[in-house]
Amino acid sequence: MGKPEPTQHPEDGVELLRSKLSEWFAHNGKDYPWRQTQDPWAILVSEIMLQQTTVSSVISNRRFERFLEEFPNLESIAKAAEPTILKAWEGLGYYNRVRNLQKTAQQILKEYGGQFPVDTQSLEALPGVGRYTAGAVSSFAFNQPSPIVDSNIARVISRLFDSHRPIDSSAGQKFLWQKATMLLDKHAPRLFNSAIMELGQTLCSPQTPHCHHCPIRSFCLSKQPELLPIKKPRKKTISIEEHAFFHQIGQKVLLAQGTDTRRKGFWHFPLRKESEYAHLKPIKVSRYSITHYRVTLYLYHQKPASLQEGEVYHPINQLSRLPIASPIRKLLEQML
Ligand code: SF4
């Protein structure tokens, strides 16, 4: 069965489009925990958490609720030590997100007396808050008429207008924000933004859009929606090899604290040059991905001739308190 033909241009029937979308959302909208609050701090946390983590993973592991139990407000995270916030974010990756959450909390306390700014311009000036997140906090927490464009909404808009501009190009972004602004229901921005996002997450799915059940199908101009949206060619994955060793003395294990951008603040196996292991066979070879890096880690059993800066023997029963990236923690558990 082909996609239904449009009967009206989305701009000509925008009011009907909004009401059809809202009605559909009223019956089909999911009751996510972040939709049950209008607290701007909780909404900011959910938006930052969902930037690179899937909804299902956040929901199934109660990551959102657990984070808010530990940091229920700006004050609680503003004064926390860095290892504590990194530990609370463990497993979610992209740790600069939680560092920025802390800086944002500190900035709001200092510059706004603890009251969140309402307008998108002030929100966008906060660390780690981009145009989308500013619009999301402004509309979801304060019901302000601020448009939002995330990957789900970008897909819906590209298909609705049959746009073939790459969504990650500046022309494509300009187009998406213009259309999101035009479509937005200024009288019910919270509801409208939630509804269009939900449509992208459910019916207007990437590979097989369910157009015959779509509440706005009579406005949708795309002929082959499964081919949209268009993106620029992807950033290449960088493959790297690392050589590290495992050493344990009694109930203590040697770890090094990262200082480079990829590992800053995190504990990992101490690294050495490959040439130092020329006479050894690795006891483990582990492959994992972090952001756009594909890492192959060769792990050797070795007693170090001397310790380097940042290398410390940690009691094994205290490792759970340290920030350690998930692939390294798994490997460490296997070794112990
Ligand atoms: S599901 Fe998406 S592609 Fe299909 S009619 Fe709705 S908006 Fe258009």
Q: Which atom of ligand 1 is nearest to the CA of 210?
A: 1
- Enter the DSSP assignment of 162: T
Residue 59, C-beta contacts closer than 8 angstroms, at least 6 positions apart: 32, 33
CATH architecture of 39-142: Orthogonal Bundle (1.10)
- The per-residue pLDDT for range 99-135, each reduced to its tens digit, is 999 999 999 999 999 999 999 999 999 999 999 999 9
Ligand 1, atom 2: nearest CA belongs to which residue? 204
Give the pLDDT mean for 282-294.
Answer: 90
Domain 238-335 class in CATH: alpha beta
How much of the chain exceeds pLDDT 70, in percent?
Answer: 100
Per-residue pLDDT, 84:
96
CA of 208 to the centre of ligand 1 (A): 10
CA of 202 to the centre of ligand 1 (A): 10
117 φ, ψ (degrees, to nearest 5): -70, 150
First to last CA, the chain: 56
CA of 4 to the centre of ligand 1 (A): 9
CB 269 within 8 A of CB 311: no
Q: Does the N-terminal peptide bond of residue 229 adopt cis geometry, omega within 30 degrees of 0?
A: yes
| Residue 94 pLDDT exceeds 90 | no
Ordered by start, the domain boundaries in the chain are 39-142, 238-335
CA–CA gap between residue 222 and residue 196 (Å, rounded): 17
Give the pLDDT mean for 205-225.
Answer: 96
CB 247 within 8 A of CB 233: no
| Residue 238 pLDDT exceeds 80 | yes
| Residue 226 pLDDT exceeds 80 | yes
Q: Which atom of ligand 1 is nearest to the CA of 156?
A: 7
Nearest to 298 by CA among 276, 314, 267, 266: 276
CA of 329 to the centre of ligand 1 (A): 42
Per-residue pLDDT, 28:
96
The catalytic position among 23, 47, 274, 311 is 47
Percent helix, strand, coil in the chain (nearest 5)?
Answer: 45, 10, 40
CA atoms within 13 A on the CB side of 278: 3
* Angle made by CA atoms 83, 86, 89, in degrees to the nearest 5: 150
How much of the chain exceeds pLDDT 90, in percent?
Answer: 87
Ligand 1, atom 4: nearest CA belongs to which residue? 211
- The per-residue pLDDT for range 313-332, each reduced to its tens digit, is 999 999 999 999 989 999 99
Which residues does ligand 1 sit against, CB inside 6 Å?
156, 159-160, 203-204, 209-211, 214, 216-217, 220, 222, 225
CA–CA gap between residue 97 and residue 12 (Å, rounded): 40
Nearest to 32 by CA among 21, 40, 42: 42
Per-residue pLDDT, 2:
80
Give the pLDDT mean for 284-303.
Answer: 91
Distances 320 to 148, 190, 324, 325 between C-alpha atoms, Å: 38, 40, 9, 11
CA–CA gap between residue 86 and residue 84 (Å, rounded): 6
| Residue 263 pLDDT exceeds 90 | no
Q: Which atom of ligand 1 is nearest to the CA of 200?
A: 2
pTM, two decimals, is 0.76
CB 161 within 8 A of CB 220: no
Per-residue pLDDT, 17:
98
Nearest to 222 by CA among 1, 25, 10: 10
Is 47 an annotated catalytic residue?
yes
| Residue 310 pLDDT exceeds 90 | yes
Give the pLDDT mean for 6-27.
Answer: 97
Per-residue pLDDT, 181:
98
Average pLDDT value over all residues in the chain: 95
CA–CA gap between residue 222 and residue 2 (Å, rounded): 12
Strands 293-301 and 248-249: unpaired
